[in-house]
Amino acid sequence: MNCSPEPRCGVTAERKKQTLHKIAERTAQPNHDPNTHHCLCGADADLIMLGLATHEPNFTIIREEFKPNKPRPCALCNQVGHELKECQGVAREKQGEHDEFAGSMPGSEQEFIFIRLCVLREYLARELTMASLPFPFDFERSIDDWVFMCFFVGNDFLPHLPSLEIREGAIDRLVTIYKDVVHKTGVSVITCLYL
């Protein structure tokens, strides 16, 4: 398994591109084992899209589980109640002689989710496959199209289009429009990796 950790702070878009470029280089090698499993760890939702864009069947994204309204601990002292810029770097007071009454510190046990892209690809295959096309359906091209369309709903670099709110079914709406366009035009949105 090739694991590529993404550091917690100071990760640039360039670093992500470099990591995925390395994966693409490895997979292009004639001796590449198609059973190689790639693993990328990071909080960025774009990693899911970038992982899908590699077209590698065995790819896992590890992310910290997002819990809305849960206070995040300071990255320096791992305590809640202040931001990193306000941190004094002071250790938390022990509760009991050996800290036996402390219980679990907020943020001390981070939960992670594992996103297996092969499972997501199976769901996308069911959703994107179109019957009665006048040409052979190309699932890999439809993955590229789906990733491209999802960027209209917003990502770390682009705001979502005002009329496309993910909570209001924007992705479903885009998939419906996509299928109609492909049926009418006979080509995918991204043809030969060009718009």
Residues 53 and 120 in one domain: yes
Residues 79 and 116 in one domain: no
Residue 124 CA to residue 146 CA, distance in Å, equals 9
Residues 101 and 47 in one domain: no
Residues 56 and 90 in one domain: no
Percent residues over pLDDT 70 in the chain: 79
- Total domains, the chain: 3
Residues 87 and 33 in one domain: no
Residues 118 and 44 in one domain: yes
Residues 135 and 119 in one domain: no
pLDDT attached to residue 6 = 47
Domain final residue, candidates 127, 155, 171:
127
Q: Using an 8 Å Cβ cutoff, are 142 and 121 in contact?
A: no
Residues 122 and 176 in one domain: no
| 95 confidence band (pLDDT: 50, 70, 90) | low
Residues 59 and 99 in one domain: no
Residue 112 CA to residue 129 CA, distance in Å, equals 31
Q: What is the pLDDT of residues 41-63, one digit of tens each?
A: 887 778 888 899 999 989 999 98
| 92 confidence band (pLDDT: 50, 70, 90) | low
pLDDT attached to residue 124 = 96
Residues 133 and 60 in one domain: no
Q: Is 41 or 66 the better-scoring residue by pLDDT?
A: 41
Residues 21 and 116 in one domain: yes
Residue 10 has pLDDT above 50, yes or no: no
pLDDT attached to residue 104 = 54
Residue 154's Cβ-count burial label (10 Å; 0-12, 13-18, 19+) is middle
Q: What is the pLDDT of residues 163-183, one digit of tens each?
A: 888 888 889 999 999 999 898
pLDDT attached to residue 98 = 61
Residue 12 has pLDDT above 60, yes or no: no
> What's the pTM value of the predicted model, to 2 decimals?
0.70
Q: What is the pLDDT of residues 130-151, one digit of tens each?
A: 988 888 889 999 999 999 988 8
Which domain covers residue 168, as residue numbers? Answer: 129-195
Residues 87 and 102 in one domain: yes
All residues at 6 or more sequence positions from 155 whose CB lies less than 8 Å from its CB, including other chains: 45, 46, 49
In a 3-state reduction of DSSP, which class is residue 116? strand
Residue 134 CA to residue 151 CA, distance in Å, equals 28
Closest among 87, 171, 104, 166 to 179, alpha carbons compared: 171
Domain final residue, candidates 109, 141, 164:
109
Closest among 145, 142, 143 to 133, alpha carbons compared: 142
